[in-house]
Amino acid sequence: MARKQTRKKASPRKPSTAEPPNAARDIAPAASSADARPHAGLDRGGMASLARISAGLSPHAMLDAWSDWSMHLARAPGRQMELIERAQANWLKLTQFTIASMLGQAPSAPFQPGRYDTRWSHQGWAQPPFAAWQQGFLALQDCWQAATSDLRGLRKQNADRTGFMMRQLLDSVSPANFPLTNPEILEKTWQTAGRNLFDGAAHFSDDARHIIAKEHRPVPEEFALGTVLACTPGTVVFRNDLMELIQYTPTTKKVQSEPVLIVPAWILKYYILDLSPENSFIRWLVAQGYTVFCISWRNPGPEHAEWSLDDYRQHGIMQALDAIATIAPGEKVHANGYCLGGTLLAITAATMARDHDDRLASVTLMAAQVDFAEAGELLLFLDESQVACLEDMMWTQGYLDRPQMSRAFAAIRSEDLIWTRTIRRYFLGEPDLPTDMRVWLDDTTRMPARMHSQYLRGVFLENRITAGRFAVEGRVIALKDIAVPMFVVATETDHVAPWRSVYKTALFTDCDLHMLLTNGGHNGGILSQPGHPRRHYRVGHRHAGAHYHGPDSWLAAHDPIEGSWWPEWERWLRARSSGKVAARTAGAPQQGYPDLGPAPGSYVHQS
């Protein structure tokens, strides 16, 4: 137990009212003057109609990328010669492999699929003629990858975007997608006398019906919320139009003096951190002796189109801190933000530091970015034309709908998240076996038009947080103002928040900071409960004011440690706590925070 520290107690603010949030915030750039034209609505309506046809992708952005690439390649005879030579070399390798296979030999495959490409796992792909078809596809893929690589004078984003679009086109004609050229489908059809194709047709019909009707699949009964998932006992102690605040029931007689507030992302629901009991981050943290609070965001509809990013700060995190200051009076709070919740928490912490609000004891960011200059392949979907396209689509419907966001994430790893699933569901006739993670991924949410526009422009596209141009309540904030200790968690194979991008938190802060890198992806790496097999992490400490070291030198200087990163973080958290007190009861009825019902609350059930 940490030694009791003498410190100034945090003074609770007067609890905020639960009035609906408003959008009178200057947290993002104002609307363009073009929107004030008399007939601007006609333009936006037309673009919104086009965006619905193109699944939210801007045709102008795609044409611009192809035009930029083709013109630069046309004036580069040296690159053209390189590509011709590469195509000839690939053809020679493919010919030699095919001839050797036909002669009964077992040659080594000259081309290998990507890391996440599981379409070729069946042993039949090693046999002729399927091996030749597979290698021919991979050889063509290799040629196009070279053709769309960086070229002098070509914008890197257009090179990446062209390569991405060509990869999508090639994946659509892969031999793995067709029954007559896929050995696994042929084998399954022979074994089941074609039953797999009938089952696949039924799956396709069911999926098409849900897509056309825009029906949201309910959570399966075997994964019911509150009994199987999101089942950690707790109480809703505060509710406004934007969020519910859950206080979890203690399982120890004493708890650390400082409570913990968890701020989840609003793209999907909060219970990624409270999945099944065996991998629930929240349940585990409660068992370590902490008073844990968690925000559950509302699933917004068209009537909430004007909710802003600052509404999520004021009526989300700040009102949660108001409630905690009353329930645990005088105590500072360990704040923990996941994904976009972490980005919002960083904004909030910087604003509180600027305003001399000292109610935070520490800040933890899990798979959360504060700088978006190296945000990975998500940058392929964002430029001025693309953001305007999404804004126009949200302008007509009031929100960004669930499928429009999930499709973007799936397209980044389409070979695994789209095509592998398509083959298994529609040609092999295999149902989607639900898991706790799959149920959560399917339980998507909407995002208010104004808030998402502000996020895309002010935070992502213009990178205002680290550029010194992000204003909250009319004044710019700076991450360097944050003085409380920080703990930053990144995951090695994160395709949403790449770890080197997450690492840049160390570049823009001066406080005492621990950086931890764990294996796994954006979700699986965070859910790394003790006892989880094949887990490791690296952790390093930077003292306040120390010099910056780049991500590669940091990686080389820190060896992997076997096991879950959760106990490492908890030890850090305990060392920055001031001792234990008797476990707290839920809420503070006398001060305006009564029991509003059991966890997981009502907002988590909204579809």
**DSSP category for residue 153:** T
C-alpha separations of 566 from 279, 288, 471, 583 in Å: 11, 11, 34, 22
Residue 85, burial from CB neighbour count under 10 angstroms (0-12, 13-18, 19+): exposed
Structural contact between residues 347 and 273, judged by C-beta atoms closer than 8 angstroms: no
Count of residues for the chain? 607
Q: How far apart (Å, rounded) are the C-alpha atoms in residues 587 and 380?
A: 45
Structural contact between residues 225 and 219, judged by C-beta atoms closer than 8 angstroms: yes
Residue type for position 496 = V
C-alpha separations of 173 from 140, 166, 374, 423 in Å: 11, 11, 31, 13
Contacts of 357 (CB under 8 A, 6+ apart): 351
Residue type for position 113 = P
DSSP of 263-275, one letter per residue? E--SSB-GGGGS-
**The one catalytic residue among 143, 231, 294, 339:** 339
**Pseudo-torsion of CA 164, 170, 172, 174, nearest 10°?**
-140
Please report the beta strands in 374-454, taking only residues with DSSP state E, as ranges in sequence order: 399-400, 447-448
Sign of the torsion formed by the C-alpha atoms of 14, 20, 24 and 28: positive
Going by C-alpha positions, the residue among 15, 307, 380, 334 that lies closest to residue 161 is 380
For residue 389, indicate whether it is catalytic. no
Structural contact between residues 273 and 338, judged by C-beta atoms closer than 8 angstroms: yes
Pair of tokens at residue 484: 């409380």
DSSP of 566-588, one letter per residue? HHHHHHHHHHTS--EEEPPPS-B
Active site residues: 339
